[in-house]
């Protein structure tokens, strides 16, 4: 069994204690450190080498957004999942663009937080229906501006099959679902995703999804409930 190493970052010691108690009870998760501010994250990552950083988005000194941007700019950075109390927070978009793998609400049931940590550790993003709707509104509002044009230009650099995979990632499909829909093996999908990330200079699937949204290639109907 692979153990997922998790670093907890929240300025509220009660929240950290609750998360530590909840996550620490899982056989496949190990809490390797805790911090009360985003300014402590980089040093703790160097020391504890976590796979996932579960971090509050709002902290008084260095917030989770700034810490995420600093962390994801480093080589071999751990995955970052942000904690928030808001269902639709404008700052979430900035965090996702910085390379966060997703977010969970602080009132999320324990089992779902465990699932989110495991999912992110496996390389999949964590996006709730609420944040997906926010991305839809964002994309609809910016499809005609320079961001949309830039996104379409970047995606045009991909091969046709890679663009199809990128759009499927934007729809929230897993590798297995993409493989079934596009009639290819899961290994081939993984290879396409890796090439997409490399060619576009992106950190993770969430950023691929954001490009697809910005380019106007994902709509509500095409998501098919995902």
156: left (phi over 0), alpha (psi -120 to 50) or beta: alpha
Tens digit of each residue's pLDDT (9 = 90 or more) over 7-66: 999 999 998 998 999 888 888 999 999 999 999 999 999 999 999 999 998 888 888 888
pLDDT of residue 192: 93
Structure confidence at residue 104 as a pLDDT band (50, 70, 90): confident
pLDDT of residue 220: 45
pLDDT of residue 43: 92
pLDDT of residue 49: 94
Tens digit of each residue's pLDDT (9 = 90 or more) over 147-160: 778 888 899 999 99
Question: Can you tell me the distance from the alpha carbon of 226 to that of 222, in angstroms, rounded to the nearest whole number?
Answer: 9
Structure confidence at residue 94 as a pLDDT band (50, 70, 90): confident
For residue 77 the two structure tokens come to 């950075």
Least confident piece of the model among 8-22, 65-79, 104-118, 122-136:
122-136
Contacts for 7 with CB less than 8 Å, ≥ 6 apart: 31, 32, 33, 34, 35, 41, 44, 45, 48, 50, 52, 53, 54, 55, 78
pLDDT of residue 32: 95
- For residue 58, CA distances in Å to 45, 65, 104, 112, 206 come to 19, 8, 13, 21, 21
For residue 129 the two structure tokens come to 């229906």
Arithmetic mean of pLDDT over the chain: 82
Least confident piece of the model among 178-187, 207-216, 217-226:
217-226
């Amino acid at each position: 069994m692979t153990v997922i190493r998790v670093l907890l970052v929240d300025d509220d010691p009660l929240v950290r204690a609750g998360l530590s108690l909840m996550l620490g009870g899982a056989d496949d998760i190990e809490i390797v450190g805790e911090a009360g501010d985003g300014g402590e994250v980089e040093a703790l990552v160097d020391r504890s080498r976590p796979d996932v950083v579960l971090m509050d988005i709002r902290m008084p000194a260095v917030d989770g957004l700034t810490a995420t941007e600093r962390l994801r700019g480093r080589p071999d950075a751990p995955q970052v999942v942000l904690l928030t109390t808001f269902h639709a927070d404008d700052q979430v978009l900035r965090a996702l663009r910085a390379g966060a793998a997703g977010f969970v609400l602080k009132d999320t049931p324990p089992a779902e937080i465990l699932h989110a940590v495991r999912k992110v550790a496996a390389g999949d993003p964590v996006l709730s229906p609420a944040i997906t709707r926010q991305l839809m509104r964002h994309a609809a509002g910016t499809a005609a501006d320079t961001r949309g044009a830039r996104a379409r230009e970047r995606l045009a650099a991909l091969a046709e099959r890679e663009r199809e995979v990128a759009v499927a990632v934007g729809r929230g499909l897993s590798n297995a679902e993409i493989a079934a829909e596009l009639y290819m093996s899961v290994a081939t999908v993984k290879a396409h995703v890796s090439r997409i990330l490399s060619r576009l200079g992106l950190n993770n699937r969430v950023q691929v999804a954001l490009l697809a949204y910005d380019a106007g290639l994902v709509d509500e109907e095409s998501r098919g409930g995902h």
